[in-house]
Amino acid sequence: MTQPGILNATLQGLRVLEIGHFVAAPFCTRLLGDLGADVVKIEPLTGDPVRQWGEQVDGRSLWWSIHGRNKRSLAMDLKAAEARDIVLRLVAQCDVLVENFRPGQLDRMGLSETTLKEANPKLIIARISGYGQTGPYRDRAAFGVIGEAIGGLRHLTNHPPGSYDLPPVRVGVSIGDSIAGLYAAFGIMAALWQRDRAGGDRAMRTLDVALTESVFSMMEAMLPEYGRLGKVKQPTGGGIATAAPSNAYPTADGGFMLIAANSEPLFARLAELMGRPDMVRDARFAGNAARVAHAAELDALIAGWSGTMSTAELEAKLTAADIPSSRAYTAADAAHDPQYLERGMVREVMDPALGPVLHSGIVPHVPESPGAIRWTGPDIGAHSDEILSGAGFDAAAISSLRQKGVVG
């Protein structure tokens, strides 16, 4: 199958069935599809509701162009009597099932784990939910913002207690869903490796990925510091509790510049650049510990300097002085960033429905067999016929299913 010198796509040969919606499960399968897996997505006849989110062009979702890329769409009414048999035929053909219904919902559709295993004894099943498949919260509705709050992220995304009275902010994307989807993708590949390798155990496994826990797993020392010392980790605004100066500083044109000059040589270079070499000799700023203790005063001095310059001017000065720094990238900054462009992380893709669209590239980058954007998010049911045909339904059967409103 492979050409000389060219390896397989990293996940070529992997067959994935998604019965998911919104963000977490579809993000998981996007990652698998980006690396070359064949992803069949079962979605309602009216489409995954995420197709309605965000900006639309002529009724077409720009997000979907990315979120649905490299997937084949089978539109189906999962509540129809015929649906269960179709799903099980597809399950028999695939390596992995990814779903993010509320716990128990697939069971109620006649797709219990026992049934799925009968259809495919080696199936890897990845279940993504708000709180997990077990425990007292399992039946609660899974809203991303609530999962992030329980994961501990929301409390920490704020200015220090008492410094102002606005609420902690939401990271502007559903980061908890995406992290959970990425954890599921990792777990799927781990289970597949142990299943399929020489010396592996040929065993099915289920993955129980909770949005809350996915976020919580990234909270570093928050939990052990509380348990051992009673310390409740608090938000630190734009800065870092343990290093200074490191913050986002205002510019004259309303932007913000991240400056991380929290080492002795970097701080000395910054002081020089500010025309304030005396700062290095100031006892308040002698060494990182002193700077952290006087971070507010130090930040005010830097902000007073940074605020006199445009973002571009400040950026040029900091770069020339080799001080780690960056503007807080907007969409516009990212779209024109030479590094992103050079590495294909910003690329123009032709979407049949939308015309040329900018897509973010593929992570991780695998130089020997880079992933590909084979196609953009498809229309609802764009691949229904070929998928059903591949599962053994003939043209008459497919036509009948369509007439009954089972598939679209």
Catalytic residues: 177
Among 49, 104, 121, 238, interactor with its own copies by CB under 8 A? 238
CB 384 within 8 A of CB 391: no
Among 15, 22, 82, 250, interactor with its own copies by CB under 8 A? 250
The alpha carbon dihedral of 146, 148, 152, 157 has a sign of negative
Identify which range of 72-80, 104-112, 190-198, 378-386 contacts its own copies by CB under 8 A: 190-198
Q: Hey, which residues between 56 and 75 contact its own copies (CB under 8 A)?
A: 57, 61-63, 65-67
Identify which range of 75-83, 101-109, 250-258, 271-279 contacts its own copies by CB under 8 A: 250-258
Calpha distance 390→387 (Å, rounded): 5
Total of residues contacting its own copies (CB under 8 A): 158
In terms of DSSP H, where are the helices of 48-174?
A: 62-67, 83-93, 105-108, 113-119, 144-150, 153-156
Q: Hey, which residues between 252 and 281 contact its own copies (CB under 8 A)?
A: 254, 256, 258, 260
Q: Hey, which residues between 341 and 400 contact its own copies (CB under 8 A)?
A: 342-343, 345-346, 348, 354-361, 363-369
Site string for its own copies, 311-340 (x = CB under 8 A): -------------xxxxxxxxx-xx-xxxx
- Closer CB to its own copies, residue 80 or residue 146? 146
List the beta bridge partners of residue 346. Answer: 360
**Minimum distance from CB of 275 to its own copies (Å)?**
22
The yes or no reply on residue 81 touching its own copies (CB under 8 A) is no
**Minimum distance from CB of 86 to its own copies (Å)?**
27
Determine phi and psi for 297, rounding to 5 degrees.
-65, -40
In angstroms, the first-to-last Cα distance of the chain is 33
What one-character DSSP code corresponds to residue 50?
G
Q: Tell me how far CA of residue 186 lies from CA of 52, 66, 207, 266, 367, in angstroms.
A: 28, 20, 10, 37, 20
CB 181 within 8 A of CB 27: yes
CB 122 within 8 A of CB 194: no
Q: Hey, which residues between 12 and 51 contact its own copies (CB under 8 A)?
A: 12-14, 27, 31, 35
